[in-house]
Amino acid sequence: VKVTFTKTVASSTIYTVSSSVASGSGKVHFGNNVTSAKVTAGTLINFQATPAAGYKVAQILVGGTAWTIKNNGGDAVYQFTMPAGNCGVVVTFTSTTTYKVRCGTFSVKTNATNYVNQLAAKGFDAYMETVSGQYVVYAGTFSVKANATNLVNQLAAKGFSSYITTA
């Protein structure tokens, strides 16, 4: 009887890791602007999410799982261990612009307070801020311009003049 022993080498399966931007403006890559690579399971993967000017990271999904955002949504490097399967890194960027619906500016605080009360009586959630010694009345603050535009239209339908400003 003759027995032969052969050493078997485990074959490593190669998987694809890719990065993409779901929406907004910015970049996500694995270094040197690489957005896709072939790697084995267990490999430590670094990726960088870099928002464009006026944007921040709103969501990161790695293999469909949400991650905690670093650096208040600013530029940051993240790391994970490659699973045994293809994996995607998907980043959503959102605008940092705030849209305010401005209804009026007054030099006398009582006049501004009266206007806030008039708006409230018509069902609007108005508030007042002091800006450069003036009393400015706003009816809302939004991160989406379409929502601010909708409020301007609602105010106009009730006889109030307003416009959108950015903060």
As averages over each run of 10 residues, the pLDDT of the chain (167 residues) reads 60 89 96 95 96 96 97 97 97 94 97 97 95 96 92 96 92
Alpha carbon 164 to its chain's center: 21
Pair of tokens at residue 166: 């950015």
**Quick one: pLDDT at residue 3?**
66
Q: Is the pTM of this model over 0.85?
A: no
CB 60 within 8 Å of CB 49: yes
Backbone angles phi, psi at 155, to 5 degrees: -65, -45
CB 99 within 8 Å of CB 72: no
**Quick one: pLDDT at residue 9?**
47
The Cα–Cα gap between 45 and 13 comes to: 16
Residue 121's contacts (CB-CB under 8 Å, 6 or more residues apart) are none
Taking alpha carbons only, the member of 60, 12, 16, 13 closest to residue 34 is 16
CB 150 within 8 Å of CB 144: no
